[in-house]
Homo-oligomer: A and B are copies of this chain.
């Protein structure tokens, strides 16, 4: 939607083939990091050009990122967990400029920006994707695919290697043997809807230790998904989003964004919020 109105791309970097820029590691000047006059700088956004050709996140690193995401949730929420888990890996393995940007910006996103809006884990993933993928079209496809995947995925699936010390007093069984019994599909990318449907399925509150234990594992699930997306993109420098669900496609058939009668500019599934429009409509 945005792309179709952008006459000038503020971040266009077409002249720089991704991966073509060698990593520059310069010391001196008494600097304790890689922030130098000639090396990559945090202001050199977008950063994809600093990721070496052939870069990939290994399966073991993927697992470590997921585990870091889980523990990051208990540090400062779901958005922080996903963002810091992925970005700290880039800082360690790519270096500048990823080691020049703060890892701890994500605390604002938890609880759907504290408002029940977009799931903070998704927002942390989106912010990480934005740091890695320079091409607006591919970035958009990856973000849409992430949000759409979340809507239809059964959460939580992750089983932590170690339970965080802050996770105490759960009443449900989150063990590997039972985790699937706790899963449900959000049908929405919004925090409050995601929390409500899981809480209703499991008979627990939407604000309490069981819910937080779920969201900590969901944070790991989302982090791992974003890693898979980044790997897929970097391997091919392209990405195609999955299609919208059939019900919502039907909605948009009568309500396209270009209509002048009740137009809708949306990529999300419609029926989870607008349940009253599914039957007896119009």
- Copies of this chain present in the complex amount to 2
Residues of B within 8 A of A3 (CB): 114
Residues of B within 8 A of A59 (CB): none
How long is the Cα–Cα vector from A76 to B140 in the complex, in angstroms? 13
Residues of B within 8 A of A261 (CB): 200
Q: How many residues of A contact B (CB 8 A)?
A: 95
Segment at the interface with B among A49-57, A60-68, A96-104, A152-160 = A96-104
How many Å from the CB of A258 to the closest CB on chain B?
A: 5
How many Å from the CB of A219 to the closest CB on chain B?
A: 12
Segment at the interface with B among A17-25, A37-45, A177-185 = A37-45
Asked whether any CB of chain B lies closer than 8 Å to the CB of A110, the reply is yes
Q: Nearest B residue to A74 by beta-carbon distance?
A: B7
Contact B33 A29 (CB under 8 A): no
Residues of B within 8 A of A144 (CB): 114-115
Contact A111 B75 (CB under 8 A): no
The contact of A77 among B2, B108, B212, B258, by CB within 8 Å, is B2
Segment at the interface with B among A222-230, A232-240, A273-281 = A273-281
Contact B206 A265 (CB under 8 A): yes
Q: 14 more A-B contacts (CB under 8 A) besides A7-B166, A113-B147, A195-B257?
A: A2-B110, A5-B74, A6-B76, A29-B37, A31-B36, A33-B43, A35-B41, A43-B102, A100-B100, A112-B266, A116-B264, A191-B266, A192-B264, A199-B260
Interface set of A (CB-CB < 8 Å, partner B): 1-11, 28-33, 35-37, 41-46, 72, 74-78, 80, 84, 99-105, 107-108, 110-118, 120, 126, 129-131, 136, 139-140, 143-144, 147, 166, 189-192, 195-196, 199-200, 203-208, 212, 257-268, 273-276
Q: What are 15 of the A-B contact pairs (CB < 8 Å)?
A: A2-B77, A5-B74, A5-B166, A7-B74, A8-B75, A10-B107, A11-B107, A30-B37, A32-B37, A107-B136, A191-B266, A195-B263, A206-B259, A208-B258, A276-B276
